[in-house]
Amino acid sequence: MRIGFFDSGIGGMTVLHQALKILPKEDYLFYADTSHVPYGEKSKEEVKQYIFDAVEFIANQGVKAIVIACNTATSIAVQDLREKYDFPILGIEPAVKPAVQKSEEKQKKVLVLATRLTLKEEKYHHLVKSIDHHDIVDSIPLPGLVEFAEKFEFREEKVLPYLQRELSSLDLKQYGTVVLGCTHFPYFTNSLKKLFDKEVEMISGSIGTAKNLERILKERNLLGNGKGDITFFASGTKVDKGTLSKYKNLFGILDQI
């Protein structure tokens, strides 16, 4: 059986990219809720309904596990989804813990980039409170990056002016680690790096999530014998050939980072 990957849009491909490296012998179903993206700018109640509808659709296709490859959806719904379904449901959250460790060693601060909804949620505040004992974690929402990604617009000349504007109120030299707390953001790593100190580290939760997936499949004896096939759905419809090739090109972009 396949493994389902779910996101509001193409961000989840950054997590699937890591999973394919660790688990190439699995087959995948990737579901982007493109009719309702962006989640990060909507209300919690509205987004929760979209997530439950999408996960029900994915479950009906027959999957052995689902990865909620979206920080926003994880913070809002992962607990409730786990109660509803009996197959493993994995999530992703901003990698604040490793970021704080790394920045403390360098005596620098941490900047968390995520969606507005993720940053507003109790789960995020709880996470930061439990780790940030020296008050070194700042955060800022960057919804424009989700919009750029959904338009497949990754060119630096388009993205950099937006980033410069949004981050202009911060002294970027003080950050040793930047947390890419939205799965749409890793596509923009190279543009982001231009704005920070040379030694800055950009970290996302995607490798950790892929490793977790491997561990859980092993533990439950669910490892497969597939070929790395991926079936793509956009809000319940199989994607057309043009979109399919755009999706597959995303791996090329990620390989260059």
Tokens of 5: 């990957």
Q: Which stretch binds ligand DGL (CB under 6 A): 8-16, 105-113, 213-221, 241-249?
A: 8-16
Give the shortest CB-58-to-ligand DGL separation in angstroms: 16
| Binding residue for ligand DGL, selected from 115, 177, 204, 235, defined by CB under 6 A | 115
Per CB under 6 A, which of residues 195..234 are in contact with ligand DGL? Answer: none
Residue type, 11: G
Listed ranges 38-46, 57-65, 163-171, 195-203: which one lies at the site for ligand DGL (CB under 6 A)? 38-46
Q: What is the largest CA-CA distance in the chain?
A: 51
Query: How far apart are alpha carbons 237 and 35 in whole angstroms?
Result: 11
Q: Which stretch binds ligand DGL (CB under 6 A): 37-45, 103-111, 121-129, 211-219?
A: 37-45
Using CB under 6 A as the binding criterion, the count of chain residues that bind ligand DGL stands at 17
The CB-of-183 to ligand DGL minimum distance in angstroms stands at 4
Query: What are the residue numbers of the active site?
Result: 70, 182
What is the nearest approach in angstroms of ligand DGL to the Cβ of residue 114?
6
Options 23, 58, 70, 137; binder of ligand DGL; rule CB under 6 A: 70
Among the listed residues 72, 177, 206, 209, the single contact to ligand DGL using CB under 6 A: 72
Work out whether 11 is an interface residue with ligand DGL (CB under 6 A): yes
When binding is defined by CB under 6 A, the residue of 5, 29, 40, 178 that contacts ligand DGL is 40
8 Å CB contact between 13 and 250: yes
Please report where in the chains the tokens 């930061």 appear, as a residue: 128
Residues 138 and 175: their CA atoms lie apart, in Å, by 9
Residue 183 makes contact with ligand DGL by CB under 6 A: yes
Q: Match 């004992």 to its residue by tokens.
A: 133
Does residue 67 bind ligand DGL (CB under 6 A)?
A: no
> d(Cα 249, Cα 251) in Å, to the nearest integer?
5
Strand 230-234, strand 237-238: pairing? antiparallel
Name the amino acid, one letter, at 231. Answer: T
- Among 32, 110, 136, 182, interactor with ligand DGL by CB under 6 A: 182
Using alpha carbons, select from 247, 238, 235 the residue that is nearest to residue 54: 235
Instruction: List Cβ neighbours of 204 (8 Å cut-off, separation of 6 or more).
Output: 14, 95, 179, 180, 181, 183, 185, 186
Our CB check for ligand DGL shows the closer of 3 and 68 to be: 68
Pattern 140-179, binding to ligand DGL, x per CB under 6 A? ------x---------------------------------
DSSP labels, 118-157: HHHSHHHHHHHHHH-TTS-EEEEE-HHHHHHHHTT---HH
Other beta carbons less than 10 A from residue 28's beta carbon: 20
Q: Which stretch binds ligand DGL (CB under 6 A): 2-10, 122-130, 207-215, 241-249?
A: 2-10
